[in-house]
Amino acid sequence: MMIRTECLAEIAGLRGDAMVVAVYSSAFEWIGISPHPLNFLSVGAMGQASSLALGFAIGLPNKKIIVLDGDGSLLMNLGSLVTIAEIAPTNLVHFVCQNGCYEANGEHPIPGKDRVSFAAIARGAGYKNVAEFSDIARLTTELPALLSAAGPTFATLHVQPGIKPKLDYSLVHGAAARDAFKSALAREISADA
């Protein structure tokens, strides 16, 4: 089992100018690890991170889009895996942090926590690249190739529940965060045109 913040730090070190769509606990940790105007924090829209990221991947085909999903969140929108695989955006990398619980909602266990394989579901849906990691050294070694591969790419990160991050909603829903994202997105759209 890995520590989620260590995994996120590895991803942050290689993100470059990628847009990152992060959900709930990952989102609050991510903004401390990798502050950037192209962080889209999907807090309050449980299950929608993968669908939102797909929209960004379609709209910005020359921009790497990284999703930092949670297992409980992904369970609420499993159909997005099939849609993503069908559309096959080459610029989409989808990580799911699997800790076996709805961490943001009291750490209640997810259904099938001891047997569900999100990697198998993604593979069956038709993702081009699928990986699973439970060892930080292996993740560190394989992450550069995973992030640079033509996608769609899916990776399960087997992590333990984290220390509850400070839930400062002004950082994710505040006017400053929204304005910074809108401005950065407008620059990306005009650069892609």
CA-CA distance, 19 to 15, in Å (whole number)? 8
- Residue 31's pLDDT is 84
Contact indicator for 20, 49 with CB cutoff of 8 Å: no
- pLDDT score for 92: 98
Cα–Cα separations (whole angstroms), residue 32 to 5, 103, 108, 171, 185: 10, 18, 25, 10, 20
CATH of the domain at 21: 3.40.50.970
Question: In this predicted structure, what is the pLDDT of residue 139?
Answer: 97
pLDDT at position 103: 60
Predicted local confidence at residue 189, as pLDDT: 86
- Interhelix angle 49-59/79-87, rounded to 10 degrees, is 10
pLDDT-flagged residues of the chain (< 70): 43-45, 47, 100-113, 161-174, 193
Q: How far apart are the first and last CA of the chain?
A: 43
Query: ω into residue 152 within 30 of 0, thus cis?
Result: yes
Please state the three-class secondary structure of 11-76 as a single string.
HHHHCCCCEEEEEHHHHHHHHHHCCCCCEEEECCCCCCHHHHHHHHHHHCCCCCEEEEEEHHHHHC
**What per-residue confidence (pLDDT) applies to 161?**
66
| Cβ proximity of 184 and 124 under 8 Å | no
Domains identified in the chain, total number: 1
Whole domain around residue 54: which residue ranges?
2-192
Give dist(CA 160, CA 85) in Å, integer.
28
